[in-house]
Chain A
Amino acid sequence: MAKVKISKKSTRIDMTAMCDVAFLLLSFFIMSATAKQPEPKAVDVPASTVIEKLPEEGVAVITVGEKQVFFTIPRDIRVLTLEKMATLKGTSFTAEEKKKFEGMDGFGVPLSQLKALLKLENAERNTPGLQKGIPYDSVGNQLGDWVQQARYANREWLNERIAAGEENVKFRDLDIAIKGDAKENFTTVQQVIDILQDQKKNKFYLVTNLRGENF
């Protein structure tokens, strides 16, 4: 009888295909994704069944959480807004501070503390609890001023572009989105809405998540 010979096979697997797939996925993720912006205030937004997306650019976001309010101005008009705000409040910012402000995404400090905030490093700025929110009560309604100046800046910027003969530029008012924490008391959001309505800004977005469960 012939002895059955068990052939000794190599235990090595060819990893080429696996490697290809891994790198393909990697390239896909890098190309299709945008980096998560560091936020001074992380909020957990409520879910809704609405499937409209937030416009990608040109939206100013008001973040509301724990009775604090933060403001994010679109990058294109950020410096212009700061200049207008400084003129309105009778202060001024150096060129270096303006440059730093342009790189800063959202912020939540009173104007008087903005200079101190700009001196900090990027990583330090977003320490939780460091920024206490923009004042929005009726006494020092800086949030209203910021929104108003941002809208002026947006108008000026668009008008300039239209005057320069750029095509595909149409005038539209600055879109405002309210990003509120799900657990936030509605009165705070109502106050923010009132501030917008005082400027005759009656239409805005509420940022929500997509609802997952069977609703």
Chain B
Amino acid sequence: MAELNTGDGGGGKGKKVRSKKSNPGVDLTAMVDLAFLLITFFMLTTSLAKKQAMELAMPDKDKKDPQPDSTTKIPEERMMTILIGKDNRILWYMGKFDAPTIPPTEAKFGKDGIRQDLLKNVALGKEYAKREGKPEQGLVVNIKASDAATFKNVVDILDEMAITHPQLYAIGDITLGEIDLLKQTGVY
């Protein structure tokens, strides 16, 4: 880098030989270069941010009784089912599949899509539970992913659960009727 030429450049015939005044500072340029190179290297090779972890508890699956119909105890007004289809598309309905209290509706992912529906339904579920005389209960969400859903879709929905706080949520197996429903609406 910029360094003043302190040398006398020869010549000076017959002149008095002057002792060269040596520069007292050490050139640190190379050292700084090296240090920054190492910093870059370490920043690239290390993983500073530790991975986040989402805890997921699945309902106990008993092999003797493969389909314990625990959902029957929950009033259908508080039961929401989310079906995940292809291309990040969702279909949701409230109540029973055969006689939904809110018919299947399509929604998008994100805060303007399924989040609004969820928040509405969470409020609805709470209201209903209060009328029933069980104010500590609320909406129950059943998440059903079809074969066309990606892992990201499921994590996104679980994330919505963490944001909107329904009383309970679970991942269930999709039924044939529900796949048909997805096919009819072109989501599967």
Name A's B-contacting residues (CB within 8 A).
10-16, 18-19, 22-23, 25-26, 29-30, 32-36, 45-56, 64, 177, 179-190, 193, 197-198, 200, 202-211, 215
Contact = CB atoms under 8 A, between A and B. Distances in A.
B168 interface: no
Given A10-B4, A48-B155, 5 more contacts: A18-B28, A48-B54, A48-B156, A186-B145, A204-B56
Given A15-B28, A190-B145, A197-B61, A180 B151 contact: yes
B25 A12 contact: yes
Interface of A is mostly: mixed
B58 A33 contact: no
A197 B163 contact: no
B23 to A, nearest CB: 8
Contacts of A33: 42, 46-48
Interface stretch (B30-38, B75-83, B91-99, B119-127): B30-38
A207 B52 contact: yes
A45 B50 CA distance: 13
A25 to B, nearest CB: 5
Contacts of B155: 46-48, 182, 206, 208
Contact of A200 (B31, B47, B60): B60
A182 B53 contact: no
A10 B2 CA distance: 9
Nearest to B84: A186
B29 interface: yes
B2 A11 contact: yes
Contacts of A190: 145
Interface string B95-123: 00000000000000011000000000000
Contacts, number: 164
27 contacts: A12-B1, A12-B25, A14-B25, A15-B27, A33-B48, A36-B47, A46-B156, A48-B162, A50-B52, A50-B162, A51-B52, A53-B50, A183-B150, A183-B151, A184-B150, A186-B154, A189-B154, A203-B57, A203-B58, A204-B56, A205-B55, A206-B54, A206-B56, A207-B54, A208-B53, A208-B54, A210-B52
Contacts of A211: 159
Contacts of B50: 53-54, 56
B57 to A, nearest CB: 5
Nearest to A48: B159
Given A26-B35, A48-B158, A185-B151, A54 B42 contact: no
A186 B52 contact: no
- Give the interface centre of A16, A36, A50, A207 by most chain B CB atoms within 10 Å: A50
Contacts of A47: 155
Contacts of B27: 15
Nearest to A197: B61
B154 A15 contact: no
B159 A50 contact: yes
Contacts of A198: 61, 63
A154 B154 CA distance: 30
A34 B162 CA distance: 30
Contact of B46 (A15, A16, A36, A186): A36
B111 A203 contact: no
Contacts of A54: 50-53
Given A50-B159, A206-B158, A26 B42 contact: yes
